Amino acid sequence: MKRFGKTAVGICLLLAVWQLAVMSGIWSTYVLPPPAKVASSLLAMMRDGTLWKHILISMRRVLIGFGIAFGLALLCGMAARGLPRLEEYYGSFLEFMRHVPPISLIALLILWFGIGETSKIIIIVLASFFPMYLNIRQGFVSADRKLLEVGTVFGLSRWQRFCRIVVPCAIPDILVGMRIGLGYSWRAIIGAEMIAAASGLGYLILDAQQMSRSDRVIAGILTIGVVGVLCDWLFRILIQRWQRYGD
């Protein structure tokens, strides 16, 4: 509750500074609309369903892309643990791709897959795969050797040791990877939607900018922030629930 109070004070201060800046007249209300106007635009978009529609479209893309990226990261992470020699074949390629910003590939992706859903989902996969893969791999590879020996002593098979020891050891790293990956997914989808889309939160912002509606641009940005914070909060709760044994 104390933390909530402090957060509320911080937000109030920010709103006050924003309002003061508007009232000072340095910037026109076209460039910097007052908080009240942004709030009323936000409410209007919520009432007529525009905002929910764009949120749901972006969220759907994020969930599909994030899900695919998670599946791939899990497979590659498991391969790194179970078949370390196989990793020697694909490791360098992954290392190379890790340094290529996904947005830089959008021109090629549009050329290959058009401006439909596929190119946007691929962008999300590329953006969220690497943080998840690196964390999942770390979790699987660094499973406590001493605990694995306990499994050996109890006569567990390799698969049983993986399921009963390696996976639980790796879960904190997997959850951290998912948390970071989800954040990257949101960043990537907004970028992709601003370049090639007819719907979604990125499109909402770009469309508002083209219509010179700064209030709607800010409302869109605030929505992205809130959705991101909510997703992150959910993951934080999951991580805390799993790590309750450490208390």
Angle at 132 between CA 187 and CA 92, to 5 degrees: 105
Residue count (the chain): 247
At closest approach, how far in Å is the CB of 182 from another protein?
Answer: 23
At closest approach, how far in Å is the CB of 135 from another protein?
Answer: 18
d(CA 30, CA 208): 12
Identity of the residue, 50 or 160, whose beta carbon is nearer to another protein in the bound complex: 160
Tokens at 215, concatenated? 């209030």
- HSE (CB half, 13 Å, CA atoms) of 75? 8
At closest approach, how far in Å is the CB of 154 from another protein?
Answer: 3
* 97 Cβ contact partners less than 8 Å away, ≥ 6 residues apart: 126, 130
Identity of the residue, 19 or 160, whose beta carbon is nearer to another protein in the bound complex: 160
At closest approach, how far in Å is the CB of 145 from another protein?
Answer: 10
At closest approach, how far in Å is the CB of 148 from another protein?
Answer: 10
Q: Which amino acid is at 121?
A: I
At closest approach, how far in Å is the CB of 67 from another protein?
Answer: 25
At closest approach, how far in Å is the CB of 83 from another protein?
Answer: 23
Identity of the residue, 2 or 244, whose beta carbon is nearer to another protein in the bound complex: 244
Cβ neighbours, 10 Å, residue 49? 10
Start-to-end CA span in the chain (Å)? 21
Identity of the residue, 101 or 168, whose beta carbon is nearer to another protein in the bound complex: 168
What is the H or E stretch that residue 42 is in?
helix 35-47
Quick one: three-class SS letters along 219-242?
HHHHHHHHHHHHHHHHHHHHHHHH
E strand spans, 81-237: none
Q: Which amino acid is at 134?
A: L
Identity of the residue, 66 or 162, whose beta carbon is nearer to another protein in the bound complex: 162
Identity of the residue, 97 or 156, whose beta carbon is nearer to another protein in the bound complex: 156
d(CA 80, CA 136): 10
Identity of the residue, 176 or 208, whose beta carbon is nearer to another protein in the bound complex: 176
Sites of contact with another protein (CB under 8 A)? 146-147, 149-150, 152-156, 164-165, 168, 171, 242, 244-247
